[in-house]
Amino acid sequence: MSAPVATSLPSNKAVLDLLQGLLGRDVTLGPGAPVTPSASRPAAMATYVDPTYGLNAIILIDLPLSAWCAGALALLPKGGCEDSVEEGELTGMQVEVLHEVVNVAASLFNAGGVLHSKLDKLYAPGEAFPADLAGLTASTNRVDLDVTVGGYGSGSLSIILA
């Protein structure tokens, strides 16, 4: 048996299949601009670690997509999710549901023969995260996607390897 290899970026199809299967909704996605968290564009950040707790990936999800994913998974009314986007923050319940989304997303990094990755931490949209993580958001080893969740709306996500 060969030694495990480093994590690689998931394909767009793998991301699409994961979101459609998890959210139970039609999802479309395509290339997008990088998600760059700022005061005017809050985003969630999920960090993923290998078995030695070394950081190996992060996922950035802008506030709108965070709200749409939480809403679709928890069957929340679209209006309440729109309110969260307008107010610039998720409710506590939406953050809990988003945590489940990013926890399941760890499977994107666990395709055959790679070091096993697991969710380490979720930073909610607008929550401060450590400067060393903020620096990773500029990495070029990434995939950037625009995502539309049927019945909710569109947003963006970036998957970045550490």
**Any idea where the domains of the chain sit in the sequence?**
12-161
CA distance 107 to 67: 21
CATH domain 12-161 topology = Chemotaxis protein chec (3.40.1550)
> What does the pLDDT look like over 91-139, one tens digit per residue?
999 999 999 999 999 999 987 666 789 999 999 999 998 888 888 888 8
Give the chain's radius of gyration (CA, Å). 15
> What does the pLDDT look like over 31-61, one tens digit per residue?
999 999 998 999 999 999 998 999 999 999 9
Q: What is the pLDDT of residue 1?
A: 43
When pLDDT is cut at 50, 70 and 90, the band that residue 155 belongs to is: very high
Cβ–Cβ under 8 Å, residues 149 and 72: yes
CA distance 105 to 103: 5
